Every structure is written in structure tokens, then in C-alpha cells.
Structure 1
């Protein structure tokens, strides 16, 4: 079994890619940080992850796409806007040869922040 790379930070993760992909990943990261300023950055499942009252979103770069993982509820929330992308239960693939839909990503992150805060408040963890 091949060892998975061990990244200590999202910076370490981003630096392994080409300058073009680094720019895309950095922009994606900054949008998430803007919409979830209280979220904590982490590496989970070998991917950049934002945590706010539980996992908020993950993202990862692949050969031909950026995978964005806003959980199944994040996909359901925005399913009508995601019809031109490859979508699975909790993930969407944004092709690297197209601009990322940053406004849509922003909306999904806003939804996930509100959802996680609501769950935390319900559980008495506000």
C-alpha cells in the first residue's frame, strides 16, 4: 500500500500543485474563509477541510477537476445550480479548464455555515 502524503497545513497542500491550480485553490480557500471566518482549517482525509461545529466543507485538486465536498445537504441546497457539473451525493466536480463558480461556492458555504450553527445551537453547542 502506498503511503498517503502527510500535509501539515492547507498551505502545504496547495504548494504541491502547479501555479495555476495553486491560484484556483487559494481563491477557493479565501472565499471559504470569508464566508466562514470562525471556521478552523484542518487536513482531514488528506484534503483541506474547514471545521465549524463539525466538518463544514472539504476540497481537493485532481488531474482534471477540483472536488468540492459540502456534504449531501450542501449539494441538495444547490442542486438546480449544479446541473452542468458532475455531482455525487456529497461532492461536485469543477473542471480545471473552466472558471470555478465562485458565487455559487460562496452561497453553498453560507448555507453550510448556517446549517452547522443551527445544529450546534439545537444541541446546546452555540
Structure 2
């Protein structure tokens, strides 16, 4: 296991599975991404830059694409989710749609590699 998997291992099952799903989608789309930490959270990194981070908070789960532009690009498809400058919050009962998650990863990858 790597840093990300180790960081998620002790979470309650539903939260762990939800965040592992996010990471699995990112790993599928960017298999060269490496486990790491960024801003104190478990994250996948690409070319030494944070690609996507995940965190479990008391009342929600968060995805951090480390880019306000990426969040803005998908915001219109995330009605009913809590968004901020660089964060998308969701719950185990209301997970991120796969197509949106895939676009988040693709957009962030493109930012890193430009």
C-alpha cells in the first residue's frame, strides 16, 4: 500500500470506500501518478505537483483538485454539492458522479502538463 491507501485505511468503511473510489478513478486515468501528501492531505501527484487530494471531515468528504479553475469548470454539473475555491464536498449518500470526477482528473492533468 502507498501513502494514500495507508491514510484512508483507518476511516469508517463507507467513507474509506467512497474516497478509495475517487482515488481509483484518478489512478485509472493517470496511472503514472504517485502517492504523496500535499497541504497535509493524502494526494496523488503528477510530475511532482498535486493532482488530486482527498479528506474525510466530520460531516462530509472532500476532493481537492488543487485548482479553482478546475472546480469552476465542473461547478455547473455539481448542483447540490458544496463547493469552494478549490474544494468539492460530498457524502457517502451523495457521491460525485463518475463523469464529473473523470473530467476533474483530466482537467487537472492538463493543467499540470501544459
When normalised by structure 1's length, the TM-score is 0.79
Question: Which structure shows the bigger proportion of residues in strand conformation?
Answer: 2
Distance apart, 1:100 and its partner CA: 2.9
2:102 to 106, 117, 121: 106
- Rg bigger for which structure? 1
Runs of 4+ in 1 over 6 A off after TM superposition: none
Alpha-carbon deviation of 1:102? 2.2
Distance in 2 (CA, whole Å) between partners of 1:9 and 1:100 is 23
List alignment gaps of at least 5 residues for structure 2. none
Aligned residue number for residue 94 of structure 1: 90
Query: How many residues were matched structurally?
Result: 111
Match of 1:28 among 3, 22, 30: 22
TM-score by length of 2: 0.87
Q: Is residue 14–residue 92 contact of structure 2 (8 Å, CA) maintained in 1? A: no
Q: CA RMSD in A?
A: 1.6
